[in-house]
Structure 1
Amino acid sequence: MGIRTRRARAHSKTHFVGFGLAGVLGFIALLCVTLALSLGAVVSSWLEDLPDYTSADAFLVAEPTRVYDADGNEIVAYYLQNRRSVELDEISDYVKQGTVDTEDVRFYSHNGIDAEGIMRAVVVQLTGGSEGGSTITQQLVRNTVLSDEQFENTLRRKVREAYIAIQMEKTYTKDQILNMYLNTIYYGNSAYGIEAASITYFNKHASELTLNEAATLVGIPNSPTYYDPFNNYDACKSRRNVVLQRMLSAGTITQEEYDATSAEEIPLNPGQLTDSESTYPYFTDYVRNLLLQDFSSDTIQAGGLNVYTTLDPEKQQAAEQAAAERIAASGNDELGAALVSIDNSNGYIVAMVGGQNYGTDESAGQSTVNLATNKRQTGSSFKTIVLLAAMQDGMSPTVLINCPSSIQITPTYRPSNIDNHNYGVRTLASATAVSSNTGYVQVAEAIGMDKVASMASTLGIDTEIEPGLSSALGATQISPLEMAEAYSTIASGGVHRNPVAITRIEDRNGNVVYEHEDDPEQVVDEAIVCDAIKVLEGVTQSGGTAANVQSLLTVDQPVAGKTGTSDNYADLWFCGFTPQLTTVVWTGRMHDNQRVYFQGSTGSTYNVPIPIWCAYMNAALDGVAREEFPTADHEATYEPNDSWTFVGTSSSVNQEGWGQTTTTDEGQAEEPDETTGTAEPTTPTTPETPTTPETPSTGGETTGGGSTGGDSGSSGGGETPTTPTTPTTPTTPTTPTG
């Protein structure tokens, strides 16, 4: 073989070797590129559905909703977790420094992930130890925006966590991130955030923590159950000393501080950070139910809302005191009282009493049932709605009605006045003052119960009114809050407003998400309402069923209203108003519908709800300048009185020119008004006191229709009007009148 041939072969071998190495290296490079592209595609897919991490809200978890009264005082907080966020300058420096030294010593130098920390953690784990490599930023991400994935031990979760941590470091300062971390980390015993932990373990604010206390808290999040100082004190103390050692190594504390503090015991002083014990639990339960109509339970418990309400703390205190004192004086452990007071000018609920003993132990007389929103028979307090319906239908309050002791309305329904009093022929206004059942059931029959139900709805009563005539006497169950809304509409001259409990709601950042706007609506002719108010003023004057209001009320204000008593004296009501406030008081047994007893005798509107109403109104309106009820710029127009037909009244009594005087069994003369149309309602004269036993068992008008609202039922009756003697002690009247 020639030299050329040998050289050519040698050259070819050299090229073959060169080509082979280049191919292998090229293949490896191509493989790396392919893997990188594939991994990039995978990582890209992992990052496609990241939760929103651009808002600071994403890093705040379970902030309680706080509720405030009208003066801005916090009255309750609804919370899912025991948490209260604080600013960084409200946290002890020992906590901030100790957290960084223990959890992430290079926190202020890395960009969200710490490569050195990760390598150290790997080495420690390979040598049998245990140490995490996550930064404070990564832990914050894991506990907040990726909380749903925090227990996934996958590469996907770690990549997502690292990516968001890096992005966070571009958006927020280190101090902002540390602040968010300290407000969200779990410290055991239901304490989330450093402020909750400070109070839970040491009963002090986070700004007041000593080195010993701060080091203890810094160590707990590593394992909140194991390092719980209440259950595992020695382990917690050992962990505290680890924190102190790391603070010493970082140069945060001196050797002397370390030696002294590590030798100390942990000064535990348990406290409780909770606002769930409401100042006014019945009202705040009501507010919570309102919020649930627009917000989820999770939002209410964890959304950090600020809810501003209408509750006036001074009026609420007066209402609570008036109800509690009267119930305590009753000598009846089963008796309860509800009160709702509404500002007529805007519909604000300024006071709400839902009971006297909030709780879940019925054997101790406790209940969480809000009596202010609970429905009970209204008795004759519902006659006001019948009155308005009749007057709107054209019936003048001067129309004459025979009010006998009892009356057969249908073959199965025969209502009676209370104690079978025969009130004789009298005007509708006077029948209202004495609360005659037999007169009012004729009025309801004459206009039709459909018009009564329509008026109830117009005035704001959402409860469906049963169609039977007994509903005209209060057989339908309605809540005190609904009755207050209806009576406030009357007090406002026929202007309806929905009752308002919440004026404004803000999110956790102070942005307004709801603000109440006044939306009044004239729903009944003002002239008719003004005439009706005059009729209801007669109820509180001499001869009316609420005449003792005049002796108990000390403020200089006009007053009108209506009493109500259901069958067997189970429900006692007074629905009354002044130009400023409408207040409804209900009293009865909390757990059943049995008869009410007050100081051993049958209770009455005279000695239970009216004294509560007057005591509250005296306090609520103390020093308030006198105002007058609204007036109309026109007169109401009514149908001629003789155009009405009543089932138990002779048509002749309303005929024009009828001049005969009729006398009731109380000796009251009723002189018929011969005019029709726009006649003014008359105020009844004072009847003689009807014969009653020495210890009266009456004092209220009954529904006369049982609880079914149908036409068959008990005899019923109207309240007994008398002229009460002036009680020597205003809060304990001695002559019950109903």
Structure 2
Amino acid sequence: MRSPQPSFSNPVPAPAGWRRWWRQLPLWLKAAVLPLLGGFCSMTLLLVALRLLPLPDESLLDPTEMDAADGTTLAVWTPKGIRAERVPLEVIPRWLQEATIAVEDAQFYHHHAFNPLAMLRALWVDVSRGRVVQGGSTITQQLAKNLYLSQDRTLWRKVKEALYAMQLELHESKRTILEQYLNTVYYGHGAYGVQAASLLYFNKPVQALSLPECALLAGLPKGPAFYSPLTHFAQAKARQRVVLQRMVAAGYLTQAEADAAYHAPLHLATVHPPVVQAPYFTTTVVREVEQRLHLSPDALYQGGIHITTTLDPLLQQAAERAVATTLPKDRPLQAALVALDPQTGAIRAMVGGRDFATSPYNRAFAERQPGSAFKALLYTSALEHGWTPARQVMSAKTTFLYDEDRLYTVHDFGEMYARRPITLREAIARSDNVYAVTANLETGVEQVIDTARRMGITSPLDPVPSLALGVCPASPVEMARAYAVLANGGKRITPYTVEEVRAPQYGVYQASPQAVPAISPQIAFQMTDLLTSVLDSGGTGASVRRYLHGLAAAKTGTTYTDNWMVGYTPSLVCAVWVGYDDDRPLTPQDAHLAAPIWAKFMGTAQQHLPYTWYRPPAGLVARTIDPVTAKLATDACRDTETDYFLVGTEPRATCPLHPAQRAPLAPGPWWRAWLGRWFGRA
């Protein structure tokens, strides 16, 4: 007999409707629904949080800063621009707004921060090309990056960009986002925002831009350096055509209007106001940083980099003042000045022209004929190959035979010859050309070129007799580098402008100056001693000695088109060039302007950078000679000079024209000869 079934007084209730529905779902469908529900909830919470949280502070973005050696700020680049001026959207031409939307984000008014189709299309192109070719960023994403983020390409940065873009769309209207974008986007050459770009490229306010000009500007953000009309006009025009066609596709223009805009002439601005201090120097710094860290031309302008330079602000002011107060205002003469530390090569001051705003070309790197300023290198080579300060050459018009059958006649400036044998010191002081060509041919032109190369001249040098007269062009930077070898005791240095660069995305760069032996300390001292005569009475630089406050070594140089003064103290080397950009001949007045620029600047430098004058190294002996006979002077010689000789090369015979009444003159303390020449008694 079957047992009776138990009875329950409170049976289990049936599941509720939604629970019953959930239990009836297949397992695979449950696995799909759960992530969707979780994602929906998470997205809802994220959107609420982004809407409640305030937008980040734009000032948190680190700018790119460039400092002088003493910490003084030279330039600051941020996404707000060097001279940014925000303008309301109502002022910005409709053409510029439509051109920007058409070429950057055609669905701007129809998406919420992202354009999925554009992102997928860009991803497909990038994958098919094997590299990043297109970006799928919307205007909102680009604005978020410009306002709040650095330019490094990392996954975390892209995530933050997406979040900030969503937050922007939740907080701001489309018009506000477009206005912010147009006021912050980078248009090249340090110009951020449409107002700065309009002034830079067309020298007019943004509201005055025409359709062709708006289309050109709208095409720049994709590649400001590549599409700049100032440097790549053909590429800029090609990009302008792309923008106009996109405007046609978006319905903003007819094809006829686009064609007319493309063929309309563009009147680019020719005057670009300087936007930083020491503009010739800072542009050199930018180029050096790009080369050292392998940066793109626009990377510096995107923020996050700190640059410490070699510039001395006081010396830079002195250099600019010397040029401005010396060059005449009634003719278009140009000048360049380079001053550097002879021990390291650190450039302390640089002027590349009289006005960066009207001519940004940096003449400090322009190769021009150095004229007699090259003779310091020539005589360095001669001393290396057996010449001594007592070597005499007849100063008179001379025709030289070289290469067995070729003739070369040498003239002195103004046909002003001594018409007697002169010593090396006098040849340097009066800049005698006959002496120079003689030394060039007897030393050997190839040997002279070798010495110049070791001293840092990299420009082409022709093995011809006229090499001695500086006919082969060299730049002021090169000449300063070569003279630094004499100033530092014989070591070749490399000029540079950047001491340190700190960039999170690129690492840290620090300069490591190196000095390579080029000539002996004895030869360097001999040449320095001889070059002081240029500033003595009778020297070609004597007229500017009044600007100086102590000893200095220097050499002048003049050709038909170029005027030079290059010289130094133990703490600073300075090269100055004066001439015309079109190589027109110098007037007699023009041909004497480099020396006062050099002396005015060096006078300030002598007070700013005190120094102790050189002492002769071991291996040299001082001898006082009669310059007429180049023999040891006696107490009966009226004119004397004290020179330094390598041991064993000094003269031993006494002056035959002035027999000694007592014993031959002893050289005496080394400083007595300096003081005698300095005050004109030698």
TM-score (norm 2): 0.58
Q: Which residue, out of 510, 515, 520, partners 1:520?
A: 515
Conserved? CA contact 1:480–1:584, under 8 Å: yes
Q: Which residue, out of 344, 353, 359, partners 1:367?
A: 359
CA shift for structure 1 position 492: 0.8
**Mapped partners of 2:70, 2:401: distance in 1:** 53
Which region of structure 1 is more displaced relative to structure 2, 437-446 or 493-502? 493-502
**Mapped partners of 2:438, 2:471: distance in 1:** 16
Helix, strand or coil: the match of 2:620? Answer: coil
CA shift for structure 1 position 142: 13
**Structure 2: any 5+ residue segments left out of the alignment?**
1-24, 37-57, 83-106, 127-131, 140-152, 187-191, 197-217, 219-271, 623-628, 653-676
Conserved? CA contact 2:522–2:646, under 8 Å: no
CA shift for structure 1 position 479: 0.7
**Mapped partners of 2:644, 2:111: distance in 1:** 95
Q: For 1:446-525, what aligned pairs fall within 5 Å after superposition? A: 446-508=442-504, 512-525=507-520
Q: For 1:199-348, what aligned pairs fall within 5 Å after superposition? A: 277-293=275-291, 294-302=294-302, 304-328=304-328, 331-348=329-346
**Mapped partners of 1:545, 1:310: distance in 2:** 32
Q: Does 1:622 align with 2:625?
A: no
Cα gap change, 1:623 to 1:165, in 2 (>3 Å): closer
Code of the residue aligned with 2:326 in structure 1: it is R
Please give the root-mean-square deviation of Cα atoms over the aligned residues, in Å: 5.3
Q: For 1:23-422, what aligned pairs fall within 5 Å after superposition? A: 65-77=64-76, 82=80, 132=111, 148-150=134-136, 187-188=179-180, 190-192=182-184, 277-293=275-291, 294-302=294-302, 304-328=304-328, 331-359=329-357, 366-410=358-402, 411-422=406-417
**Which residue does the alignment assign to 2:565?**
574
Q: Which residue, out of 551, 563, 567, partners 1:558?
A: 551
Code of the residue aligned with 2:69 in structure 1: it is A
**Mapped partners of 1:180, 1:60: distance in 2:** 20
**Mapped partners of 1:180, 1:314: distance in 2:** 49
**Structure 1: any 5+ residue segments left out of the alignment?**
1-27, 40-58, 85-124, 154-163, 204-224, 226-273, 360-365, 638-652, 682-722, 727-738
**Mapped partners of 2:155, 2:416: distance in 1:** 87
Conserved? CA contact 1:547–1:724, under 8 Å: no
Helix, strand or coil: the match of 2:454? Answer: helix
Q: Which residue, out of 614, 632, 640, partners 2:617?
A: 632
CA shift for structure 1 position 473: 0.6
Conserved? CA contact 2:541–2:556, under 8 Å: yes
Cα gap change, 1:135 to 1:524, in 2 (>3 Å): same
Provide, for residues 583-619 of structure 1, a one-character-per-residue CA deviation record: whole Å limited to 9, x for no partner.
Answer: 1111112332322353xxxx333xx122111211222
Conserved? CA contact 1:376–1:477, under 8 Å: yes
Provide, for residues 121-180 of structure 1, a one-character-per-residue CA deviation record: whole Å limited to 9, x for no partner.
Answer: xxxx9xxxx8755599xx999999999442699xxxxxxxxxx99988999999999799
Q: Does 1:428 align with 2:424?
A: yes
The total of aligned residue pairs comes to 467
Helix, strand or coil: the match of 2:372? Answer: helix
**Mapped partners of 1:673, 1:518: distance in 2:** 31
Conserved? CA contact 1:83–1:192, under 8 Å: yes
Conserved? CA contact 1:398–1:673, under 8 Å: no
**Mapped partners of 1:451, 1:438: distance in 2:** 19
Provide, for residues 263-310 of structure 1, a one-character-per-residue CA deviation record: whole Å limited to 9, x for no partner.
Answer: xxxxxxxxxxx9971222211222223234232324344464322211
**Mapped partners of 1:297, 1:461: distance in 2:** 28
**Mapped partners of 2:314, 2:484: distance in 1:** 20
- Between the two proteins, what is the percent identity of the paired residues? 26
**Mapped partners of 1:304, 1:610: distance in 2:** 42
**Mapped partners of 1:317, 1:636: distance in 2:** 41
CA shift for structure 1 position 65: 4.3
Helix, strand or coil: the match of 1:594? Answer: coil
**Mapped partners of 2:360, 2:298: distance in 1:** 22
Q: Does 1:532 align with 2:527?
A: yes
Cα gap change, 1:583 to 1:173, in 2 (>3 Å): same
Conserved? CA contact 2:526–2:644, under 8 Å: no
Cα gap change, 1:34 to 1:543, in 2 (>3 Å): same
**Mapped partners of 2:531, 2:336: distance in 1:** 22
CA shift for structure 1 position 633: 2.7
**Mapped partners of 2:154, 2:74: distance in 1:** 38
TM-score (norm 1): 0.54
Conserved? CA contact 2:545–2:599, under 8 Å: no
Cα gap change, 1:134 to 1:326, in 2 (>3 Å): closer
Provide, for residues 421-470 of structure 1, a one-character-per-residue CA deviation record: whole Å limited to 9, x for no partner.
Answer: 23221222221121111111011001111111111111111112111111
**Mapped partners of 2:511, 2:154: distance in 1:** 41
**Which residue does the alignment assign to 1:12?**
none
Conserved? CA contact 1:339–1:480, under 8 Å: yes
Code of the residue aligned with 2:555 in structure 1: it is K
Conserved? CA contact 1:396–1:677, under 8 Å: no
**Mapped partners of 1:134, 1:673: distance in 2:** 79
Conserved? CA contact 1:391–1:528, under 8 Å: yes
Helix, strand or coil: the match of 1:504? Answer: strand
**Mapped partners of 1:533, 1:674: distance in 2:** 13
**Mapped partners of 2:448, 2:169: distance in 1:** 59
CA shift for structure 1 position 70: 1.7
Conserved? CA contact 2:373–2:470, under 8 Å: yes
Helix, strand or coil: the match of 1:484? Answer: helix
CA shift for structure 1 position 518: 2.7
Provide, for residues 173-205 of structure 1, a one-character-per-residue CA deviation record: whole Å limited to 9, x for no partner.
Answer: 9999979999x97644643389xxxx97999xx
Cα gap change, 1:179 to 1:535, in 2 (>3 Å): farther
**Which residue does the alignment assign to 1:19?**
none
**Mapped partners of 1:406, 1:517: distance in 2:** 48
Conserved? CA contact 2:621–2:647, under 8 Å: no
**Mapped partners of 1:188, 1:134: distance in 2:** 15
**Mapped partners of 2:497, 2:565: distance in 1:** 22
**Mapped partners of 2:170, 2:308: distance in 1:** 29
Code of the residue aligned with 1:633 in structure 2: it is A
Provide, for residues 354-387 of structure 1, a one-character-per-residue CA deviation record: whole Å limited to 9, x for no partner.
Answer: 111223xxxxxx3222121111111101000001
